[in-house]
């Protein structure tokens, strides 16, 4: 006997929602999925009327679904938002070229303006994943003059991050990784996660049934060792009990820290003026490494980097002295 949709619409169920375990038909699933995102946006006041919002677009399933749903909800519920797609071209050969094609397809499908920023424009260097993409997003968003950036982080990503930060003992990130809005201080652009409560599986189903075009090759640099462990663990947990993803997010939100635990100070980089918790910021260190011809600078221990700089300076000084000596004669 076929299973009937839980909403009693009379249709046959097409899928079982991992989040609640309910069997739904396609149409009811779409309605529920979209309504939930609308609920997340409205209950957390993510956007204000008249704002310009950049949708961080990578061409992957999350950002494609995000762009689609935001456009749809913007029209349906009259948010009054100006949506633009913002994409960063890191120049990873083979990966970025194809995914950018997908982003362009999104632009045509959803009639949204698209801005592709290349690393060359931003930093004056083309490189394969040396600088963090989020840093590039911040700089890109500033160029475009948007009020906030919407990213495609889904519930799985957040749960995974909670686990990873517990495994690494990173209390600073553990504090903020579950918040739906980050940044938004004086000179930073707030970043929001409208898909915070959407399961990755449901996003894939939504994209599949809506026949959305997305780029589904895994990034060539994934998976990173430690995040990989957390991810594999989360997938195993999800098989045992699907509600675990929301439970972990809930746990992450409920964690409180003792007063004795040091809080990170949020400062601005003295060199480039962008927000950074380190002095100078990671981007500046990495760029300095490239400009100095020491590409390993900023990767690995700070003390090692300092030693490398000191060594180079010493060599330079030595060479200069040698030049002086030569010139004397």
Nearer to another protein, 9 or 322 (CB): 9
User: What is the rounded distance in angstroms from the CA atom of residue 290 to the CA atom of residue 130?
Assistant: 10
Choose, by CB under 8 A, the member of 134, 188, 268, 312 that binds another protein.
Answer: 134
Choose, by CB under 8 A, the member of 108, 113, 120, 261 that binds another protein.
Answer: 261
User: What is the rounded distance in angstroms from the CA atom of residue 152 to the CA atom of residue 67?
Assistant: 9
Nearer to another protein, 82 or 129 (CB): 129
Which of the residues 199 through 258 are near another protein (CB under 8 A)?
Answer: 218-219, 221-222, 224-227, 229, 233, 236-237, 239-241, 243-244, 246-258
Burial of 46: CB neighbours in 10 Å, binned 0-12, 13-18, 19+: buried
Nearest to 159 by CA among 192, 198, 190, 208: 198
Nearest to 214 by CA among 204, 222, 223: 204
Nearest to 60 by CA among 116, 100, 114, 108: 100
Which of the residues 13 through 72 are near another protein (CB under 8 A)?
Answer: 17, 19-20, 22, 24-25, 27-28, 31-32, 35-36, 39-40, 43-44, 58, 60-63
Nearer to another protein, 92 or 309 (CB): 92
**Beta bridge partner(s), residue 88:** 117
User: 265: which DSSP letter?
Assistant: P
DSSP string across 130-144: -S-HHHHHHHHHHHH
Q: Is 62 annotated as a binding residue?
A: yes
Q: Is 300 annotated as a binding residue?
A: no
Nearer to another protein, 20 or 82 (CB): 20
Query: For another protein, how many residues bind (rule: CB under 8 A)?
Result: 89
Nearer to another protein, 110 or 200 (CB): 200
Least distance to another protein, CB of residue 322, Å: 35
Which of the residues 266 through 325 are near another protein (CB under 8 A)?
Answer: 282, 299-301
- Under 8 Å CB-to-CB from 113, ≥6 apart: which residues? 84, 85, 107
Choose, by CB under 8 A, the member of 48, 168, 263, 321 that binds another protein.
Answer: 168
User: What is the rounded distance in angstroms from the CA atom of residue 109 to the CA atom of residue 152?
Assistant: 18
Least distance to another protein, CB of residue 50, Å: 25
User: What is the rounded distance in angstroms from the CA atom of residue 183 to the CA atom of residue 189?
Assistant: 6
∠ CA 193-196-201 to the nearest 5 degrees?
Answer: 125
Least distance to another protein, CB of residue 292, Å: 20
Least distance to another protein, CB of residue 313, Å: 24
- Under 8 Å CB-to-CB from 183, ≥6 apart: which residues? 138, 189, 190, 191, 275
Cis upstream peptide for 223 (omega within 30°): yes
Nearer to another protein, 84 or 164 (CB): 164
Least distance to another protein, CB of residue 323, Å: 37
Which residue carries 């779409």 as its tokens? Answer: 30
Stretch that binds another protein, among 116-124, 141-149, 157-165, 305-313 (CB under 8 A): 157-165
Rg (CA), the chain: 23
Least distance to another protein, CB of residue 70, Å: 16
Q: How many Cβ atoms are within 10 Å of 309's Cβ, its own excluded?
A: 16
Nearer to another protein, 26 or 82 (CB): 26
Give how far Cα 144 sits from Cα of 176, 185, 218, Å: 26, 18, 28
Q: Is 152 annotated as a binding residue?
A: yes
Least distance to another protein, CB of residue 193, Å: 10
Which of the residues 67 through 126 are near another protein (CB under 8 A)?
Answer: none
Binding site feature residues for ATP: 56-58, 62, 88, 152, 157
Binding site feature residues: 56-58, 62, 88, 152, 157
């Amino acid at each position: 006997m076929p299973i009937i949709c839980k909403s009693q619409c009379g249709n046959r169920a097409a899928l079982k929602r991992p989040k609640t375990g309910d069997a739904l038909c396609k149409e009811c699933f779409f309605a529920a999925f979209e309504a939930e995102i609308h609920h997340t946006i409205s209950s957390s006041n993510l956007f204000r009327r008249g704002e310009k919002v950049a949708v961080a677009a990578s061409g992957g399933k999350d950002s494609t679904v995000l762009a689609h749903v935001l456009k749809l909800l913007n029209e349906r519920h009259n948010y009054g938002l100006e949506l633009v797609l913002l994409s960063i071209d890191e120049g990873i050969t083979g990966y970025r070229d194809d995914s950018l094609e997908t982003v362009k397809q999104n632009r045509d499908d959803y009639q949204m303006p698209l801005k592709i920023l290349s690393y060359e424009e931003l930093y004056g260097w083309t490189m394969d994943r040396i600088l963090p993409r989020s840093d590039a997003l911040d700089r890109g968003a500033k160029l475009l003059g948007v009020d906030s950036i919407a990213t495609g982080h889904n519930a799985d990503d957040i749960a995974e991050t909670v686990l990873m930060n517990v495994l690494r003992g990173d209390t600073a990130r553990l504090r903020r990784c579950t918040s739906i809005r980050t940044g938004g201080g004086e000179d930073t652009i707030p970043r929001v996660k409208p898909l915070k409560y959407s399961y990755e599986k449901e996003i894939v189903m939504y994209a599949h049934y809506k026949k959305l075009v997305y780029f589904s090759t895994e990034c060539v640099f994934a998976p990173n060792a430690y995040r990989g462990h957390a991810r594999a663990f989360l997938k195993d947990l999800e098989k045992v009990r699907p509600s675990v993803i929301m439970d972990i997010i809930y746990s992450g939100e409920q964690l409180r820290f003792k007063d004795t635990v040091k809080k990170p100070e949020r400062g601005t980089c003295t060199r480039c003026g962008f927000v950074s918790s380190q002095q100078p910021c990671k981007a500046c260190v990495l760029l300095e490494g490239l400009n100095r011809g020491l590409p390993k600078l900023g990767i690995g221990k700070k003390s090692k980097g300092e030693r490398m700089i000191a060594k180079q300076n010493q060599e330079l000084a030595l060479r200069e002295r040698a030049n002086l000596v030569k010139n004397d004669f």
